[in-house]
Amino acid sequence: MIIESLARFLVASHKVNPIRGNVLALGKQTIGITLSKALEIFQEQDCEVNPNFNLDDIKSDSVTRMRLNNLMDDESFFRLFGDVNYQTMDVSDYEQASIIHNLNDPIPQNLEESFDFIIDGGTFDHLFDLKTSFANVVKLLKPKGRVFQWNAASNYSNAGYLSFSADFFYDYYALNNFSDCQTFFAQSYFLGAQNWFISKFVPPAKSQRYPEFKQSYFYSMVIVLATKGESSTYDQIPIQLQYRDANLIEAYQKTVEKFDSQQLPLKPIPKRSVQMPWKYKFLYFFEPKSDSKVYQRIGWL
């Protein structure tokens, strides 16, 4: 589901590196914001809406199971960014995905290196064979293609199979020689909330252990933006930081030092604009906040 926070992330990413070409969503995406809110977010970022797209051609979502009243469909949303060829992949045709495939199984060869941008709006936390699923994403991407992922981090018992740490993704993309990977944590009062408090995860390359992310009463998500390199692989298996041998530490550091991270122009919204009941705003004030530089607080999006 594309909520307000994710829309801000996507527009910020688009401003640095335009979303164009072949775009694949893992699962049909429910768009949880109005057209006027989407246009407002583009304006906030001083980012031009696709001039070739007639806004009168916006289609309403009539197929996703979480759809809201007469909001636009996912293809219309992504056409705001540019003249993209938008496709969706799902395990069945229950939401009319254009590609039917189970990500737990290897993708067919004809789909390899087909996509410039892949969005995972909460699919990986419902998968079982993550080794195959990661390999599929890498194979689906063209060199220099990007994957944007939004998945459960904590407090999601029975809402999905899994909850992730940020380094689970960061280490995989680093060890498989991606040209960049940026990861973030997001926290809010409700898994369907529009606004989330964002902290960037910046692991030091030579550390032996990361400080733990502070435990929270609130729901947490992990956000990933990774770019495939010309020589990226898919079969290198990470070992968590504190258990690596010297060779793995060296391989990891070599890649991380080459990461071409461009700062995303994320513009936090004022606290008064956060859509959250007052009792939760009060509770969040007393939430423990990390004082570690590994978790750089950005603000509410």
pLDDT at 80 over 90: yes
Average pLDDT over every residue of 23-28: 97
Instruction: State the average pLDDT for the chain.
Output: 94
Number of H helices, E strands in the chain: 7, 9
**In the prediction, which pLDDT does 22 show?**
98
**In the prediction, which pLDDT does 59 show?**
95
Q: Which structure tokens are listed for 272?
A: 């008064």
Ramachandran sector of residue 144 (left: φ over 0; alpha: ψ -120 to 50; beta: rest): left
pLDDT digits (tens, 9 = 90+) for 204-253: 877 788 888 887 889 999 999 999 999 999 999 999 998 998 888 888 88
**In the prediction, which pLDDT does 151 show?**
96
127 three-state secondary structure:
coil
Which residues fall within 8 angstroms of residue 261, CB to CB, at 6 or more apart? 180, 182
Measured between its terminal Cα atoms, the distance across the chain in Å is 15
pLDDT at 68 over 90: no
**In the prediction, which pLDDT does 260 show?**
87
Tokens 């944590």, residue located:
185
pLDDT digits (tens, 9 = 90+) for 29-39: 999 999 999 99
**In the prediction, which pLDDT does 191 show?**
86
How far apart CA 38 and CA 152 sit, in angstroms, is: 24
The predicted model scores a pTM of 0.96
How far apart CA 58 and CA 82 sit, in angstroms, is: 14
Instruction: Supply φ then ψ for residue 296, to 5 degrees.
Output: -90, 115
Closest by CA position to 284, among listed 217, 222, 211: 217
| Cβ–Cβ < 8 Å for 44, 51 | no
Q: Distances from the Cα of 239 to the Cαs of 168, 181, 247, in angstroms?
A: 9, 17, 12
How far apart CA 46 and CA 37 sit, in angstroms, is: 14
Average pLDDT over every residue of 96-118: 98
174 three-state secondary structure:
helix
**In the prediction, which pLDDT does 125 show?**
96
Domain with 172 in it: what CATH number? 3.40.50.150
Total structural domains within the chain: 1
How far apart CA 162 and CA 260 sit, in angstroms, is: 29
Q: What DSSP state is assigned to residue 272?
A: G
How far apart CA 86 and CA 118 sit, in angstroms, is: 10
| Cβ–Cβ < 8 Å for 166, 201 | yes
Which residues fall within 8 angstroms of residue 179, CB to CB, at 6 or more apart? 144, 227, 228, 229, 230, 232, 258, 259, 260
Domain extent at residue 51? 4-300
**In the prediction, which pLDDT does 288 show?**
82
pLDDT digits (tens, 9 = 90+) for 121-140: 999 999 999 999 999 999 99
pLDDT at 158 over 90: no
pLDDT at 192 over 80: yes
Closest by CA position to 88, among listed 148, 28, 146: 28
Closest by CA position to 70, among listed 79, 78, 61: 61
